[in-house]
Amino acid sequence: MSIPTWPTLPEDSTHMGRPGLSDDPEWYHTAVFYEVLLRAFGDTTGSGTGDIAGLIERLDYLQWLGIDCLWIPPFYPSPLRDGGYDVADYTAVDPQFGSMDDFDRLITEAHARGIRILIDVVVNHTSDAHPWFQASRNNPDGPYGDFYVWSDTNEKYTDARIIFVDTEESNWTFDPVRRQYFWHRFFSHQPDLNYENPAVQEAILDVVRFWARRGVDGFRLDAVPYLFEEEGTNCENLPATHAYLARLRAMVDTEFPGTLLLAEANQWPEDVVEYYGTESDPECHMCFHFPVMPRIYYALRDQRATAIREILASTPEVPRGAQWGTFLRNHDELTLEMVSTEERAAMYGWYAEESRMRANVGIRRRLAPLLGNSRAEIELAHALLLSLPGSPCLYYGDEIGMGDNIWLPDRDGVRTPMQWTPDRNAGFSTAQDPGRLYLPVVQSLVNHYAAVNVEAQLSQPTSLLHWVRGMLEVRGRYPVFGDGEFVPRDVDNDAVLAFTRSNLETTVLCIANLANTPRTAQIEVPEHAGFQATDVFGGARFPRIDDDGTITLTLGSRDFFWLELTRPGTGAPAPLEGRTDADSAFTAPPGVAPGPSYPASAEEPPRAARTGPPDAGATPLPSRRPTTGVFPGLDGEIAAGPTPPLP
């Protein structure tokens, strides 16, 4: 297997490649997260399933890309009936992924590259194969008899909704061994833990302790709204749940300071914000902002910014030190639970006209196919992800525009192997028989792995991969995107979204055109009247803010600007460190043949360069220092020239 190579980073790199980890306890504010499925990233044994060693081999790629923290979904022993979220042992590594020694080495190697590790802890439920459940069903009077929620009747908690409406008819399932019903909010093979039992609460605290002692930097707490049940409620977001999370946070802050807790709560913002707790009784440091994600997709088809404006306006302030987590896609379906019935119907029509494209209350498609492989729309979606409030999380493969396979069952269609090269198995595995792969690689006409892969895009200066890397670098050089105040701005065009991100040192005005035609918009920034507006990507000067505090701009189809606002007389922003001449060339590693460019739609070819206003002239985006290095999978040392100007 030939592993594609990427330029190494100099030891003095200021944003990416810093040696070791910073000691900032709020590191997550400016971090870029990346979700990677172990089974999907790299197979070093030829088994057809990715493993920890395969991820370690590719850490240099992730460092080069600009990732600060890896989110690794469950890798525990499991029957794998729900992608590992059906846990059979919380304190072991599934042998198909490697050993505990491999995991420890992953932590060491990631930290050496300045990358943190976030893992999933499925706090709400286990697999029915877990020894706790087997003991509970076989010995009701034993120490685990009360570890799960059992009942002689299935008529309790009737106000609780069924989450997996495609497969489940009830939240109760009868167990023929114990001759009672057990409670489950998800699949019937995932019984809910009984948090009324103090022993369960302590057991989950011990799970967190186990992995934190091994050096894990954070925990995504899966399905946190459902920990407790109470008659007469919907059994979600109950006070007892918040009390337990406050206890968990207190333990983490005392025993493992700087360790992150991230809540997975697919709820409305006014409910999710409760999972931060208060300054006196904090709970989670971060929460995913589920409702903002579908509204980005809605706005792209509605061609108006209204949906995004409204959800952000209804999002409460978070406590000091707290942070939202934002994303475009992940390993699940694109959930439509947090949109109206009318919006859901419209989105099904726009994005999932075929029933097999849907799952539960959502759409089981990846980013690029969702957006019709439109390079302009993919860029705009990323620009919003990276500039809206919160820390962004990328999903593996979206940086190259990977496709999906809607013919696979359930959510497997968006969990296919990473596409590294045009070789057999997309460079993911050395398995001689492709049938051994845990899932087939994508072979659709447009998103075929032979055309869409890392190796091909490394050799293309204007590829989506290079563009995403450049955007991450620019974001990293502007901490205001992570910790700055968000202020929506009035605009006279409903297709245009405008807001500022500001801290004591910097203000950046972000403007996005959601329409598929050029639009002119007047944006109001009254407190910045007379300020200079400068493009953060290439330094092009825009007209100053008018004396009445407005600026008028024309944006192309699906276009965006990030403009730094500076006081008159203070000069333009300093050039970004690492910028080189516009004609500097990327030297492809030996053995890496130039591959096809990222396939854009016929009516929207990839844009070759970002430019300023018509009178500013084209200005190259910042590029990076020349580097050399030795890379796995290729013989000898490569001489990599400076990365080209970003598209």
- What is the model's pLDDT at position 23? 86
Q: Taking Cα atoms as reference points, which of 124, 131, 239 lies closest to residue 171?
A: 124
Is 388 in a helix, a strand, or coil?
A: coil
Q: How far apart are CA 235 and CA 495, in angstroms?
A: 39
Asked about 11 being catalytic, the answer comes back as no
The residues, any chain, with a CB within 8 Å of residue 349's CB and separated by 6 or more, are: none
What's the half-sphere exposure (Cβ side, CA atoms, 13 Å) at 339? 24
Q: Taking Cα atoms as reference points, which of 559, 180, 188 lies closest to residue 374?
A: 559
Tell me, what amino acid is at 117? Answer: I
Q: Active site residue: 86, 192, 264, 333, which one?
A: 264
Instruction: Give the other-Cβ count within 10 Å of 155's Cβ.
Output: 9
DSSP 548-600: TSEEEEEE-TT-EEEEEEE-TTS-SPPPPTT---TT----PPTT----PPP--
Q: Which part of the chain has CATH 2.60.40.1180? A: 484-566
Q: Active site residue: 217, 222, 332, 379, which one?
A: 222
pLDDT < 50 regions, the chain: 1, 9-19, 574-647
Q: Which part of the chain has CATH 3.90.400.10? A: 127-192
Q: How far apart are CA 447 and CA 369, in angstroms?
A: 8
Q: Taking Cα atoms as reference points, which of 489, 468, 494, 647 lies closest to residue 563?
A: 489
Q: How far apart are CA 156 and CA 162, in angstroms?
A: 13
Q: How far apart are CA 624 and CA 278, in angstroms?
A: 42
What's the chain's Rg over C-alpha atoms?
25
DSSP 260-287: EEEE---S-HHHHGGGGB-SSSB--SEE
- What is the model's pLDDT at position 50? 98
Orientation angle between helical segments 292-302 and 341-351, nearest 10 degrees: 60
Q: Name beta bridge partners: 119.
A: 72, 219
Q: Taking Cα atoms as reference points, which of 363, 366, 280 lies closest to residue 319?
A: 280
- What is the model's pLDDT at position 572? 54
Superfamily of domain 484-566: Golgi alpha-mannosidase II (2.60.40.1180)
**Which CATH topology does 127-192 take?**
Oligo-1,6-glucosidase; domain 2 (3.90.400)
Max alpha carbon distance in the chain (Å)?
Answer: 80
Q: Taking Cα atoms as reference points, which of 60, 82, 81 lies closest to residue 16?
A: 60
- What is the model's pLDDT at position 41? 98
Q: Taking Cα atoms as reference points, which of 402, 519, 409 lies closest to residue 465?
A: 402
415 alpha-carbon distance from chain centroid: 14
φ and ψ of 627, to 5 deg:
-140, 165
DSSP 305-365: SHHHHHHHHTSPPPPTT-EEEEES--SS-EE-TTS-HHHHHHHHHHH--SGGGB-SSEE--
- E strand spans, 143-279: 150-151, 172-175, 180-183, 218-222, 260-263
Do 10 and 44 contact (CB within 8 A), yes or no?
A: no
| Residue 483 vs residues 28, 29, 48, 390: alpha-carbon distances, Å | 10, 6, 42, 8
Q: Taking Cα atoms as reference points, which of 219, 223, 164, 154 lies closest to residue 195?
A: 223
Do 539 and 575 contact (CB within 8 A), yes or no?
A: yes
- What is the model's pLDDT at position 571? 59
Q: Tokens 């007379």 identify what position?
A: 530
The residues, any chain, with a CB within 8 Å of residue 67's CB and separated by 6 or more, are: 32, 33, 34, 115, 394, 472
